[in-house]
Amino acid sequence: MAGKSSSTPATYAPSVSGQKKRRPLIQADSDWVRPDGRSFHQCRPAFLRTGAVNSASGSAYAEFGNTKVIVSVFGPRESKKAMMYSDTGRLNCNVTYTTFATPLRGQPPETKDLSSMLHKALEGAIILKSFPKTTVDVFALVLESGGSDLPVITTCASLALADAGIMLYDMVASVSVSCLGKNLLIDPVSEEESYQDGSLVITCMPSRNEVTQMTVTGEWSTPKIHEAMQLCLDACSKLGKIMRSCLKDAASVPQD
C-alpha cells in the first residue's frame, strides 16, 4: 500500500520567473486602465444568491469578479454555557479562508481581525433585542480572494441574515475605495490593493443612510475623504437595490 508520508515534505510554489509586480507608474489623471479594464469609479459585476446552504437557517453566496464568498447563518440558538445571561441577543462572527483562496497557498494572517470587523459592521444593523439570551452565529468562508474581501463578506452576511429571517434595521452594504496617487479606485482587485497608498472601507445602511463601520488607512486630506465617502455611499445605495431585488426574486420563486 502506498503509505502516504505522514509529514508532507517541504514544498514551494513555483513563482513566475523574473517578472515582479511593480507598481505601474501613473501620472496624475492619465487614462491609465485598471488591470481588468474597469473605469476608476466602476464596481465589479455583482452576483448574489440566497439559499446556498440547505442545512443552515439562512445562507447566501456572493461573487464580485474573482472574490467568491459563502456565508451561512445559524438562527438564534442557545449560546455557549460559559456566557452569562444577557437580555440582548449576541452575535458571533467567524471568517475563514480556504487554503486555495489566495494565489500563494497560506492562510492570510488577519482572519481574526476580519471576524471582529465583520462583527462591528453587522452589530449596528441587527435588532439584538428581538432574540434575548440567544446567539446568532454568522460563519463566512472565502472560496477565492480576489480583492476587497471584507466588503464582499459584509454584504453577503447581511443577505444571509435577511434570508435567515433575523430582524434587521436595514440591509448592510459595504464598498471599499483605494487611493493610488491622486486617483480613487472603487472596489479594488487584490493586485491594486497590494500597491495602494491608502484605502477607505465603508459599511452603511443604504436606505437609512447611516454608516455602521468605516476604516481609513494611509494619508488623506479632508476633501479627499469627503469625495471618497460620497463615492462609496452611492455605490452602497446601488448595491442595496441589487440586494433587495435578489431577496425579492428569491422569495417570489417558491423554494423547490
Tell which positions 112-131 bind other proteins, by CB under 8 A: 112-113, 116, 120, 123-125
Question: At closest approach, how far in Å is the CB of 249 from other proteins?
Answer: 20
If one asks whether residue 173 binds other proteins (CB under 8 A), the answer comes out as: no
Q: Is 137 in the site for other proteins (CB under 8 A)?
A: yes
Question: CA separation (Å) from 8 to 3, 52, 101, 105?
Answer: 12, 34, 20, 14
Task: Closer to other proteins by CB, 38 or 181: give it.
Answer: 181
Q: Confirm or reject binding of residue 255 to other proteins (CB under 8 A).
A: no
Measured from the Cβ of residue 139, the count of other Cβ atoms closer than 10 Å reads: 20
Site size toward other proteins (CB under 8 A) is 87
Rounded to whole angstroms, what are the CA distances from 210 to 3, 185, 202, 226?
58, 23, 10, 15
Tell me which residues in 206-235 interact with other proteins (CB under 8 A): 208-222, 225-226, 229, 233
Q: By CB under 8 A, what part of segment 25-44 binds other proteins?
A: none
Pick from 50, 148, 155, 199 the residue near other proteins by CB under 8 A. Answer: 199
Would you count residue 242 as binding other proteins (CB under 8 A)? no
For 34-72, give one letter per residue: b (16+ CB within 10 A) or e: beeebeeeebbebebbbebbeebbbbbbbbbbebbbbbb
